[in-house]
Chains A and B, each alone.
Chain A
Amino acid sequence: MIQFEHVDFTYEANSETPSLRDISFTVKTGECVLLAGASGCGKSTLLRLLNGLIPEFYPGERKGRVLIEGREISNQEIYDLVGRIGTVFQNPRAQFFNVDTTSELVFGCENLALPEEEIVKRLEKTVADFHMEKLMNRSIFELSGGEKQRIACASVATLHPEIILLDEPSANLDFEGTENLRQMLAAWKELGKTILIAEHRISYVWDIVDRVLYLEEGRLRADWHKEELVNFTEETCQKYGLRSLVRSSPMMFVTPEGYRLEQNTAVTKAVKEQADQIVLRDFSYTYRHGATFRVRELRLPRYKVTAIVGANGTGKTTFLECLSGIRKNKGKLYLAEGENAGQDAAENGLGRAYSGRRCQKLIFMVMQDPNHQLFTESVLDEVLVSMPEEDEDKARVILEEVDLAQYADRHPMSLSGGQKQRVAIACAIASKRPILLLDEPTSGLDRKHMLEVAELLKRLKEQGRTIITVTHDSEFIRICCDEVMELSEVSA
């Protein structure tokens, strides 16, 4: 049993605003509870209070009582909680201590100094339970995000904890990975574990959980039980700023010609028919381990938002990287440019051909982790560097457009994840490149931020940009994508 009694918490690093205010609730043993609410509502803080990372790792001031099985948690060290409470974190890239998977699974048990035979027994059982024989004895650097998250879950499972905490475990997973996670959660629930899961993408856990605790600005606003959850509709979710409840694969939207969604058909067809498309030919790339990814010909609608979907390992990110010139390849991009198309356009009837560096100059890519593409000392500098010719007034107008004007002088690294992403989009606008690529722009975003991205993309489209986004977010596709294409051509 977990009890919170009038808990207030304020981080030392952010001492002005308390992260949790007067939180009281009780979770019974064996209950599965979802913590929902917008980014920064205090979900993660609540979990950190339970696993002991507060105060040992994140110092701050706490009032009230947190009890596990009737014992006050602050009297226990983080080490004493290991084996009773397990935590799965958000970022699959950053939660492994070892380099090989087998060592990672037994890492916790070894730290607890369990006898060797017991560890081997637990290892074998976990591997069998989670069907992950194929993932053993591998380097974590060759695993996909979904596989890493399975290892993370299994490395918690070997510790046999009674309470399992998960902090946005699906943020970096695709649909299939999320379904796997769902099965794991169901299995844990079956075993009678107490589960607390903080999540934005609520659809995959909604029917598993017994209760939902809804937080808003550090306060517990609602405590919904199973009976109420069944009656939840999309409208109720929207009212509370929650993501969609519909559990649908992004592949569902794909049709041979590319699925066209009703609410978005009102796109003006001002341009001439043949200028309406971008044709890609012969983009290919060979992975280090020999598998080849190849796109012979792909026609993408111009001045539209196109979603590219596909299962893990179909090379979606690789495709974007080839297109943006990050990976070398001999692909050609054809862009119709009216009368100025030149001689080659007359020959192929597709428009002017671009390849290599010239193709690269047409395309800007917003990466999945915007931390990788922000280099300068201020947001304004970042936009200026991207402009073909630096112009501060124009840069400020662009920042206004993406709602970042008040942050112009801040260091990009001091911003939140969503804001960093908008800085990257601002750079894309500043670069004046007509094609914008985005890699999973909504991973880890709550409804409000997801809608902001969607709005921004729609506006960019109306300004005459072509947007291609890799995504596994069905809700996002429904809201802002005009066409959905499936990438599945991978030949060995």
Chain B
Amino acid sequence: MELQKSFLDPRTKLLLVFVEATLVLATAGGERLVVFRLAFTVLPFLLLLTAKCYSACIVGMLVLTVTEMLKYFVFQSSNGTLSFLLLMAITLITRFLPAYLMGVYVIRTTKVSEFKAAMERMHVPDELTIPMCVMFRFFPTVREEGTSIRAAMKMRGIGLGGGKASEMLEYRVVPMISCSAKIGEELSASALTRGLGKNRKRTNICKIGFGVADYIVMVVVMVMIIYWMAGYFGSVG
């Protein structure tokens, strides 16, 4: 059986998430890194294409394009509250979207065991790795449960329309927590009977390792850091 390796190593993906978060979301580095920021805004879209997540890619593109157009055409000529709201929306979307899409890419393309293997290679303790692995499995589960609960509320005619908002929240959240907790319990029982325990040696048949793409990403990130440091210390000295 062919066990294929994914395009990027899980460790590289983690690095990319970190870079998206600091460079694009938190805009670290300021004006000097604007070219890199642009590159890293585009990168998640390209990665989504390599993973064949076309719909996420296209929707993301559209949202980003509309936001940019708003920024250049509407925002310039607006004032008052509208201007404030627009600024908020534009900042949120342009900063968060690339990081979010990178997250989508990582979740869609990383297998739990690949992730676990990568964490083991980096000597991250199991106490941290296992809960993170469970999260991979758990988010889609919670979403599935949430969809069913929303459907049930709709069917019973309990919607945001007539009711009180606080009750709506309670109605949504309470069954979601109890369903998720129950699934979590069963999941743990099943994993325990198949030998998942802490601090034991385990094998991993996943093939992970750095390839050309990984090195390119790393070199780009390194160059960026050096360029940034040169500017930073250059201006100080």
Which A residues contact B (CB, under 8 angstroms)?
A: 51-53, 56-57, 78-79, 81-83, 85-87, 89, 91, 93-100, 102-103, 106-116, 119-120, 123-124, 127, 136, 141, 155-156, 159, 321, 324-326, 360-361, 363-365, 367, 369, 371-376, 385-386, 413, 427, 431
Contact = CB atoms under 8 A, between A and B. Distances in A.
23 contacts: A52-B193, A82-B194, A87-B190, A94-B186, A96-B187, A98-B137, A99-B111, A107-B191, A107-B196, A111-B202, A123-B205, A136-B1, A141-B144, A326-B155, A372-B151, A372-B175, A373-B152, A373-B156, A374-B175, A375-B153, A375-B158, A375-B172, A413-B174
B203 A97 contact: no
Interface string B203-223: 111100000000000000000
Contacts of A94: 182-183, 186-187, 190
B179 A386 contact: no
* Interface bin, chain B: 35 or more
A286 to B, nearest CB: 15
Nearest to B140: A141
A96 B112 CA distance: 11
A86 B183 contact: no
A376 B174 CA distance: 8
B203 A108 contact: no
B193 A86 contact: yes
B157 to A, nearest CB: 7
A57 B1 contact: no
Contacts of B78: none
A98 B204 CA distance: 13
A106 B196 CA distance: 12
A371 B177 CA distance: 11
B200 interface: yes
Contacts, number: 170
Interface in B155-170: 155-158, 170
B131 interface: no
Contacts of A96: 137, 187, 190
A194 to B, nearest CB: 16
Nearest to A56: B192
Contacts of A371: 175, 178-179, 182
Contacts of A99: 111-112, 136-137, 140
Given A103-B111, A375-B171, A385-B158, A97 B183 contact: no
B109 to A, nearest CB: 11
A111 B171 contact: no
A413 B148 contact: no
Nearest to A373: B152
